[in-house]
Structure 1
Amino acid sequence: MPLAMSKAGDELMVARVGGNEEAKKHLEDLGFVAGAHITIISQLGDGNIIVNVKESRLAITSQMASKVMVVPQT
C-alpha cells in the first residue's frame, strides 16, 4: 500500500520506491530504501505526513508519500 494511505502510529517497512529517477533518488537520500523501518508520527490535514525514519523525523508531501510502497512491520 502507498505510504500516503497509512495513519498515525503505523509501524511500516518500505517495500519499494517508485516514481521517476529524480524522485527515487530524493526519497532514497532521505532514507526511504527497501527494508527501511518507518513509523508514522502524524498526518496533517492537507495530506502531508510526518514520519520517523532512521532515527530522524521528516515531513513529506502526500504526493511524495504516494511513491513509497510499504508493508506492515512484523
Structure 2
Amino acid sequence: MGDEVMVLSEVKKNGVYHVKHLDGSDDLNRHLENLGFVPGESVTVVSRIAGNVIVNVKGSRVALSSELARNIVI
C-alpha cells in the first residue's frame, strides 16, 4: 500500500487499516476520537451496508455513515 491515502468510506470489507488522521471539524474529530478513531489505531472493516461502514476499533463494533467515514483518513 505504501503512501497511498484513502478514507474509510472507500476501503474494502475485511481489510485492516490504520488511522492516519481525521479530516473533519474540531467537534466532529472529537466525536470520532471518543469512538476510538485516533491516529495509529487499527481499524477492521467488518461490513458495508447501504453505504454505511461497520468496523471494529479498540475492541468495539462501530457503525458509521459514509459521511462520517469520509473524515477518517487511513
Normalization by structure 2: what TM-score?
A: 0.91
Confirm whether residue 60 of structure 1 aligns to residue 70 of structure 2: no
Alignment match of 2:42 (pick from 13, 37, 42): 37
Residue type of the partner of 2:46?
I
SS at match of 1:40: strand
> How well do the aligned residues superpose, as a CA RMSD in angstroms?
0.5
Structure 2 unaligned spans of 5+: 1-5
In the alignment, what sits opposite 2:3? none
Alignment match of 2:24 (pick from 5, 16, 19): 19
Tell me how far apart the structure 1 counterparts of residues 26 and 18 of structure 2 sit (CA, whole Å): 21
Residue type of the partner of 1:48?
N
Task: Compute the displacement of 1:18 (Å).
Answer: 1.0
Percent of residue pairs identical: 39
Which one has a larger percent strand, Structure 1 or Structure 2?
1
What number of residue pairs does the alignment pair up? Answer: 69
In the alignment, what sits opposite 1:2? 7
SS at match of 1:8: coil
Task: Compute the displacement of 1:22 (Å).
Answer: 0.8
Residue type of the partner of 1:59?
A
Q: After the TM superposition, which parts of structure 1 deviate over 4 Å for at least 4 consecutive aligned residues?
A: none
Structure 1 unaligned spans of 5+: none
